[in-house]
A and B are shown apart, each in its own frame.
Chain A
């Protein structure tokens, strides 16, 4: 799949998931500078199917708190780090499902459980696509590594 198409799929999927489940919208979308995001939570998972690959996100702590608070209906100050982690994992799961269903409408994919701090959560050096979304608070980076695309 061409990179531009994958870029658009990731961008549209992220906007859809954030708007419908997190009641927020990305303010901006750009290709990340390559600088590592400090004070952040990363979650990733493997997907099996045709094509197979990996998917991951990295949310700044500000963004993770905002997303967890919106998702759980709580104040950003009251959400715990554990809740932030759970919500970031759930976001990774939903985003990956949304991206894959747009990539291959009728292919059955099997997704592993999203994990934090495991090898699958680390963005590969050359992902198939990687975008950074500016949110109301902080930013969210999402990437896809499609094995077939390499």
Chain B
């Protein structure tokens, strides 16, 4: 099964990097959609179904905090698992985002396998290799 992924980050370079890591992860990736902030991501999610969202926190227009709150308050979008990918490693921030409903939290810098493990965990995938 191929998974559709939405990458939300204001940095085009980071979006490209995450895309590359997904390609290297061994996961079968279907469509890989991108958005530069939470508001743009909501528009993408209204138009296309994705299996998992990877989002930064520190973004202009709508940050990751408001983005996760908005998704989790929306009946249609709330089932989509969200994984936060952020430079912020503080326990308070991790707890805050998990309390909001994030399904995983990956801190930058990260190893490719760390992101893969977080996605597998969020999707409930059992690796067969």
A contacts, CB < 8 Å to B: 16-17, 20-21, 68, 71-73, 83, 86-87, 89-90, 93-94, 96-98, 101, 104-111, 113
Contacts and interface: CB of A to CB of B under 8 A. Distances in A.
B93 A111 contact: no
Nearest to A102: B89
A21 B89 contact: no
Contact of B13 (A71, A104, A111): A71
Contacts of A83: 13
Contacts, number: 74
Interface stretch (B75-83, B105-113, B116-124): B105-113
A93 B58 CA distance: 10
A148 to B, nearest CB: 17
Contacts of B107: 97, 101
> Chain A interface secondary structure, helix, strand, loop or mixed?
helix
Interface residues of B, number: 23
Nearest to A99: B87
Interface stretch (B14-22, B25-33, B46-54): B14-22
Interface in B81-97: 86-93
A86 B87 contact: no
Given A72-B16, A72-B17, A90-B11, A98 B90 contact: no
Nearest to A49: B90
Contact of A98 (B12, B87, B91, B92): B87
Given A20-B111, A21-B109, A93 B11 contact: yes
Nearest to A104: B90
B17 A71 contact: yes
Given A93-B87, A106-B92, A111 B111 contact: no
B91 A20 contact: no
Most chain A CB within 10 A, of B86, B91, B107, B109, is at: B109
B57 to A, nearest CB: 9
Given A72-B20, A86-B13, A90-B11, A20 B90 contact: no
A97 B17 contact: no
Given A94-B87, A107-B90, A73 B20 contact: yes
